[in-house]
Amino acid sequence: MRILVVNCGSATLKYKFFATEDGAMELLAGGVEEVSGGYRAAVTAVLDGLPQAPDAIAHRVVHGGDRFPDVSKLDVRMLNQLRELSSLAPLHNGPAVEGIEATLGLGVPLIAAFDTAFHRSLPERAWRYALPELPGVRRYGFHGWSHRSVMERYAELSGNPRPTIITLHLGGGCSATAIQQGQSIDTSMGYTPLEGLVMGTRPGDLDPGILAHLMYKGMSLEEIRRLLHYDSGLQGLAGSQDMRELLRREDHAACMAVEIFCYRIVKYVGAYLSALGGAEATVFTGGIGENSAEVRRRVCLGLSWAGLRLDESRNQRGEECISAPESTLAAYAIRTDEERVIAREAGYLLAGAVPEPSPRHR
């Protein structure tokens, strides 16, 4: 079976095309497309450039609410519900819906792979907000395929199939996840992908009273939405969301933006170490986590109290294990491969190797 995985991000489209047979997977094609003419056009261009026609297409979808917690076959009803949820993750769900629409007429099975799936194991103390019961309002967590991908790779490297680790997806969007014996038990993103760590254009944790104050002062709902999704985070602090640029600059705004970014990560890792009662490793991934030795260095130095000792040479070379042998808390930098995990799970679903998923109600 040939499975195309389409991963529509906030500014780019990533794709990988796999041939799967008897559990083995071969990468036939893949790449990253800049999106200038819209996601439908970008997906169409990808389809036109494939060496063969796909037998199935799997789309990564960020937010499924409490309706679609796992890998699911797409139909018109589901697509309409995804359109309704786009306001909760406008940087991602909108592009995903456009990508899905570009593949509707191909006559092959379409699969939705939800980022929230990995975090279905969150206990109530982690997913519940201190609010009266409001339908659908709870912490879902995101970047699930990335956290799962690097957890599985760490398990291979360590020989422990059910590791207890903290994973850090650091890119345009950023999230931390506490994984206990192979299951997510807490994660920094919540009801939407706005909560938690400082991100490229999103603020992360924020006192909700600020939003009430802004509305009281006359800011419209649309202006607040734009502020939170497009004009905050590194962009709001220093005028750029490009970590490489900020690390090159020497002005106060850039230096403080990087310091706040790293401080928030250290704070979350410290909290998760306490919640887990200790961990084997901290694992960096995502565009910044995989490629910025300086960000990894700063975070690791901030965790020296937890027994993390960075090997500067390994870190600069970008090896997978970047901690020193004497480190009691290991550190790894592992490249995420969301698309491979999605293709594998989509293949299982289509082959009937796993039951058709159904929403998990809590």
Which residues have a catalytic role annotated?
115
Angle at the Cα of 249 (from 248 to 254), degrees rounded to 5? 120
Is the separation of the CB atoms in 95 and 10 below 8 Å? yes
* Amino acid symbol at 199: M
* Amino acid symbol at 112: A
How many residues make up the chain in this entry? Answer: 362
* Amino acid symbol at 212: A
Question: What span, in angstroms and rounded, lies between the C-alpha atoms of 78 and 104?
Answer: 13
Is the separation of the CB atoms in 332 and 157 below 8 Å? yes
Instruction: List all residues 6 or more positions away from 252 whose beta carbon is below 8 Å from its beta carbon.
Output: none
346: DSSP letter: H
Q: Per DSSP, which regions of 117-189 are E strands?
A: 165-170, 174-180, 183-187
Q: How far is CA 189 from the centre of its chain?
A: 9
